């Protein structure tokens, strides 16, 4: 661990966080995909609670697991329309990521699915403490247009 930190490597603990909106979707099964259309204020209120819990859990588990990097896994949000992602996913995921980087951790955002239509939000993450891990479903040609983007691929 000490050698890796001296070399500037990302040292992974055993913890993987889940973006807040994805947690709600998993808890609500199929209904979690449409709740924000019928009950937007209730979804926002739930996201506030889930975001704070996700931050607390990510930081406490990362401390116990060791390492300097937290992996946040996202996949369900890839299929959200961009306007839904902008309002109900990104702000809460960004708060989770920012809390982790502000606490001194690097973050790897593992993204399953097609994310090309979300690049304008993804490039807002701090490139000095952040790395993207995309699978093969993301348009890598479009991805190359982003500046200051550290990335790995499956």
Convert the pLDDT of each residue in 74-124 to its tens digit.
Answer: 888 888 899 999 999 999 999 999 999 999 988 888 888 888 888 888 888
Q: Judge whether residue 154 has pLDDT over 50.
A: no
Convert the pLDDT of each residue in 31-59 to its tens digit.
Answer: 656 788 889 999 999 999 999 999 999 99
Please give the pLDDT value at position 34.
Answer: 79
Q: How far apart are CA 149 and CA 152, in angstroms?
A: 10
Grade residue 13 by pLDDT with cuts at 50, 70 and 90: low
Q: Are 19 and 98 in contact (CB under 8 A)?
A: no
Sequence-distant (6+) residues with CB within 8 A of 43 are 24, 35, 36, 88
Number of helices (H), then strands (E), belonging to the chain: the values are 8, 5
Q: How far apart are CA 69 and CA 129, in angstroms?
A: 9
Q: How far apart are CA 135 and CA 152, in angstroms?
A: 9
């Amino acid at each position: 661990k000490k050698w890796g930190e001296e070399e500037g490597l990302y040292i992974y603990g055993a913890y993987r966080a889940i973006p807040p909106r994805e947690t709600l979707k998993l808890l609500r099964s199929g209904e979690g995909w449409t709740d924000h259309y019928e009950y937007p204020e209730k979804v926002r209120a739930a996201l506030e609670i889930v975001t704070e819990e996700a931050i607390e859990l990510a930081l406490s588990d990362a401390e116990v697991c060791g390492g300097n990097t937290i992996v946040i896994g996202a996949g369900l949000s890839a299929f959200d329309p961009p306007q839904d992602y902008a309002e109900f996913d990104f702000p809460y995921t960004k708060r989770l990521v920012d809390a982790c980087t502000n606490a001194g951790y690097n973050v790897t955002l593992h993204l399953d699915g097609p994310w090309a239509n979300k690049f304008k939000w993804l490039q807002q993450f701090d490139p000095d403490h952040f790395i993207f891990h995309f699978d093969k479903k993301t348009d890598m040609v479009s991805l190359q247009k982003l500046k200051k983007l550290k990335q790995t691929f499956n």
